[in-house]
Amino acid sequence: MKFKMLKSAILDATVTEADLNYIGSITIDEDLTEKANLRAGENVLVVDQTNGSRLETYVIVGKRGSGVICMNGAAAHLINKSDKVAIMTFEWTNKEMTPLFVLVDKENKFVKYC
C-alpha cells in the first residue's frame, strides 16, 4: 500500500511578487528548488501563513540567487506580495521517509535544514 508522504517543504518564505497576468504556477529561486529537491513542473501545496489560504500549483524555476517567490495567475488573488508561505511537495511511496525541511530568511535565502 502506498501513502502520500511529505517529501520536502520550504518554510517561512516571503512572497516577493504576485503576477495576475501570468498563467498559473509559483516561481521559486533555483537555489531553493535545489535545496528542497523540487523540479520544474512539480506539484506543490502552498500554505499562506499570513491569511490561511491554501492552494495547489506547479513549480517554475526562477533566477538563481534572486530570492524570488512569485505567485502567478489566479493564485495571486489568494496569496499576496509580502505574505509568508510554506511550500510543500509530497510523494506516493510505500517506504518510510524523512522529509526535507528548508528554512529561509526574510530574503528567501537558505538558512538551514530543520
Pick the catalytic residue from 22, 53, 58, 66.
58
25, 53, 82, 113: the active-site residue: 25
**What residues have CB less than 8 Å from 101, skipping those under 6 apart?**
8, 9, 11, 113, 114
82 is catalytic: no
Please say if 66 is a catalytic residue: no
Integer-rounded Cα radius of gyration of the chain: 13
* Nearest Cα to Cα of residue 11 among 29, 36, 31: 36
Positions marked catalytic: 25, 58
